[in-house]
Amino acid sequence: QVQLVESGGGLVQPGGSLRLSCVASGFTFSGYGMVWYRQAPGKQRELAAGITSNFRPYYADFVKGRFYISRDNAKNTVYLQMNNLKPEDTAGYYCNTPEPLNSWGQGTQVTVFS
Protein backbone atom coordinates (compact mmCIF):
# COMPACT_ATOMS: atom_id res chain seq x y z
CA GLN A 1 0.00 0.00 0.00
CA VAL A 2 1.41 3.33 -1.09
CA GLN A 3 1.68 5.86 1.72
CA LEU A 4 3.00 9.42 1.74
CA VAL A 5 3.40 11.35 4.99
CA GLU A 6 4.23 15.06 4.91
CA SER A 7 5.64 17.12 7.76
CA GLY A 8 7.44 20.37 8.39
CA GLY A 9 4.71 22.93 7.88
CA GLY A 10 4.03 25.74 10.32
CA LEU A 11 3.75 29.45 10.92
CA VAL A 12 6.47 31.72 9.62
CA GLN A 13 6.93 35.42 8.99
CA PRO A 14 7.54 36.82 5.51
CA GLY A 15 11.12 36.24 4.45
CA GLY A 16 11.40 33.14 6.62
CA SER A 17 12.16 29.57 5.65
CA LEU A 18 10.68 26.13 6.15
CA ARG A 19 11.67 22.66 5.00
CA LEU A 20 8.93 20.20 4.19
CA SER A 21 9.51 16.46 4.18
CA CYS A 22 7.52 13.64 2.61
CA VAL A 23 8.30 10.09 3.63
CA ALA A 24 7.15 7.43 1.19
CA SER A 25 6.46 3.75 1.64
CA GLY A 26 4.81 0.87 -0.18
CA PHE A 27 6.60 1.27 -3.51
CA THR A 28 10.10 1.45 -4.97
CA PHE A 29 10.72 5.11 -4.22
CA SER A 30 13.89 5.42 -6.30
CA GLY A 31 12.02 4.48 -9.44
CA TYR A 32 9.48 7.30 -9.38
CA GLY A 33 9.38 11.02 -9.75
CA MET A 34 7.88 13.01 -6.90
CA VAL A 35 5.95 16.25 -6.89
CA TRP A 36 4.94 18.90 -4.37
CA TYR A 37 1.61 20.61 -4.97
CA ARG A 38 -0.05 23.34 -2.98
CA GLN A 39 -3.60 24.51 -2.51
CA ALA A 40 -4.69 27.79 -1.00
CA PRO A 41 -8.25 28.31 0.32
CA GLY A 42 -10.65 28.86 -2.54
CA LYS A 43 -8.04 28.11 -5.18
CA GLN A 44 -7.17 25.13 -7.32
CA ARG A 45 -4.34 22.82 -6.44
CA GLU A 46 -1.18 23.79 -8.32
CA LEU A 47 2.19 22.20 -8.92
CA ALA A 48 5.00 23.89 -6.99
CA ALA A 49 7.99 21.67 -7.71
CA GLY A 50 8.90 18.19 -8.88
CA ILE A 51 11.90 15.94 -9.15
CA THR A 52 12.42 13.06 -11.53
CA SER A 53 13.68 9.61 -10.62
CA ASN A 54 17.11 10.68 -11.93
CA PHE A 55 17.17 13.75 -9.69
CA ARG A 56 16.24 16.41 -12.23
CA PRO A 57 14.25 19.18 -10.54
CA TYR A 58 11.61 21.43 -12.08
CA TYR A 59 9.68 24.36 -10.64
CA ALA A 60 6.65 26.52 -11.14
CA ASP A 61 7.60 30.06 -12.08
CA PHE A 62 6.21 31.45 -8.83
CA VAL A 63 8.73 29.51 -6.72
CA LYS A 64 11.82 29.62 -8.93
CA GLY A 65 14.82 30.91 -7.03
CA ARG A 66 13.08 30.52 -3.66
CA PHE A 67 12.09 26.84 -3.35
CA TYR A 68 14.38 23.86 -3.83
CA ILE A 69 13.30 20.25 -4.14
CA SER A 70 15.56 17.33 -3.35
CA ARG A 71 15.30 13.62 -2.61
CA ASP A 72 17.11 11.05 -0.50
CA ASN A 73 16.44 7.60 -1.88
CA ALA A 74 18.13 5.94 1.10
CA LYS A 75 15.47 7.53 3.33
CA ASN A 76 12.56 7.29 0.85
CA THR A 77 12.10 11.01 1.40
CA VAL A 78 11.53 14.06 -0.78
CA TYR A 79 12.15 17.53 0.61
CA LEU A 80 10.99 21.01 -0.26
CA GLN A 81 13.21 23.79 1.04
CA MET A 82 11.23 27.01 0.99
CA ASN A 83 13.10 30.30 1.38
CA ASN A 84 12.02 33.93 1.31
CA LEU A 85 8.44 32.92 2.01
CA LYS A 86 5.66 35.31 1.09
CA PRO A 87 2.09 35.60 2.38
CA GLU A 88 0.88 34.26 -0.98
CA ASP A 89 2.75 31.01 -0.27
CA THR A 90 0.20 30.28 2.45
CA ALA A 91 -1.39 26.96 1.49
CA GLY A 92 -1.66 23.29 2.22
CA TYR A 93 1.31 21.51 0.68
CA TYR A 94 0.83 17.99 -0.65
CA CYS A 95 3.24 15.32 -1.76
CA ASN A 96 2.33 13.30 -4.84
CA THR A 97 3.59 10.41 -6.89
CA PRO A 98 2.54 10.98 -10.50
CA GLU A 99 0.86 8.37 -12.68
CA PRO A 100 0.64 5.44 -12.64
CA LEU A 101 0.64 5.47 -8.83
CA ASN A 102 -1.06 8.86 -8.43
CA SER A 103 -0.96 8.79 -4.65
CA TRP A 104 -1.32 11.75 -2.29
CA GLY A 105 -0.31 12.54 1.25
CA GLN A 106 -2.57 14.21 3.79
CA GLY A 107 -0.81 17.54 3.43
CA THR A 108 0.97 19.95 5.73
CA GLN A 109 -0.12 23.54 6.31
CA VAL A 110 2.18 26.48 5.68
CA THR A 111 1.05 29.89 6.92
CA VAL A 112 3.08 33.02 6.21
CA PHE A 113 1.93 36.03 8.20
CA SER A 114 3.19 39.38 9.37
The share of the chain scoring above pLDDT 70, in percent, equals: 100
What CA–CA distance (Å, rounded) separates 76 from 61?
27
Q: Please list, in sequence order, all residues whose beta carbon lies within 8 angstroms of the beta carbon of residue 87, skipping any fewer than 6 positions away.
A: 14, 112, 113, 114
DSSP string, 32-74: S-EEEEEE-TTS--EEEEEE-TTS-EEE-GGGTTTEEEEEEGG
pLDDT band at 32 (very low <50, low <70, confident <90, very high): very high
In tens, the pLDDT along 74-108 reads: 999 999 999 999 999 999 999 999 888 899 999 99
**Alpha-carbon gap, residue 85 to 8, rounded angstroms:** 14
Task: Please report how many Cα atoms fall inside a 13 Å half-sphere around the Cα of residue 89, on the Cβ side.
Answer: 32
